[in-house]
Chains A and B, each alone.
Chain A
């Protein structure tokens, strides 16, 4: 029908419907007595929690000064602690004069990730490939040292930098390894299938803390004395294998959702196994399980805080350690709020990106 109206005049909205903010309020917040009650209750909860929070975090907070004496007598948050220890929260105990190396790695990493993830930039293959194959080498040399740069041992790595190193490594390793494991598990070859099943079930059957303890406490006892793998390396391998097992099951869920007819059609066209999987099955399967994959990544990102129990200082561990300094005893709340904020930002970004990706790859399968 024509929206312009007819010769009799413009179309008027139906009577009895109130538009504008008032209408929205009535429709969404006060549609039934029960909803009205809930609305009032929520408003009351917000009223008793938000103003004190704002008072504490912003109005009464202290940011000036360089030690806790600046915060003496103030009733609000002592952000001076976060300000003074900000460098440590980001870089851990990394030597101050070498921190530029971490910045370079951050900058290159962010550029590559943006280029690989943003739909407007062409050359996905190049930026993605560089991120997966070239970037780790660059990061390893820049962060660890060598090639003329002073060596910085991994026990000095820490803070957000360590969190990102662990999360990125585990992410980059677990996706391809997870795909391989998922394909192996749905394979018809008994040895391949058996190996994948045993690996996935064993790794999924133990808690992450156990894996980390095995890597950091038991493994050194089995090795000859004097031969010590780097502690961070042990943790990275443990976490990556752990994440791969979970990833494999997420991806297998996607594989099972692809109708058998797709594979048969591909075979009828004369495609071999690699092409059937690479061109027909995996693209559809992976698209289906994007929420699951991102879910795994987010939970992996937060699980990296567990490395604190083997003596590595991730962001959270660094906050805890910094607040045990006699100078800053009792400032832990501000540190935790800061850590929560940083973790929240990263997880929100991942979640938003995955939603955008789902919309972009939408081909009409989604049920509304």
Chain B
């Protein structure tokens, strides 16, 4: 069964237009308010990196769980993986920017600030720009390596029917999960938690992972729905769509659990060095702060609760849009207040919207182009037959 995706010209043009808007917003932003635009770049970059990266996690976790149902939609996370090199480049730019003082996202990168700050001196062995860049290189090397090996094995399996590809994928998946468990946590400390360099939360890695994974699942569900709407993936039935809906539902609750756990422990203990994070957000970003759980918890929880809602393309598209925006806002609230400091308060504006649209365009362009590179339905995967008969 050969089925190749054909990227429609209309969509291509739309994604170029979005990229144009994004580029324009970035240029205007860098002229008007460079520091804020660097933060904007960081928010979008990490958000879309998470979406792409958790595609690898999704594949690896399903390999290890011996899952069969997902094989019919396996090519979508595989296409999402193709986006990882772009955030890698932008992240290196942000790192170089921090090292050369082009921006002040990372307070600890400023040697004058460190000299006057005893706490930062204590953290210097970890939070210094050289070690920061080395760690970044390790993360991206590992993620890209595993991602492309898993994708390559999957495509080789299409050509030659042999279970050795499946067995190799299992081993790489297991290794990736171990690597990802450590690096997903560490990258959240490095790139986000260190913005508020005095503050720390032991839950932060998990919290960011939850945000990344649920965004990734939502993006996957949306891409499957778009492909179905365009008439592709005839073998993907409502069982698969339903299961993706369940994933979005369940991990929205998981995100809420971690969001709330982090908040309640800090609120309860009431230690000033910890509460400062929430004081800052509740004083100046109150609306956005309470708007996130509304978008990320209440909306998917109430709308996706019934079976029919998870099987309906329109509700999935609506909730998907809401959840993706909500998690973008979540990253916004993790990053912006810390970068703005205690004197400025940056509420999301038109330039932020423009950059977000630009990143959506770039992501869509890369992913849908990657979809054209391989068959939409894997061949010869040992669980393919099981997946085609999937029912829920």
User: Is the pairing of A and B real?
Assistant: no
B binding-site residues for A, Cβ under 8 Å: none
A binding-site residues for B, Cβ under 8 Å: none
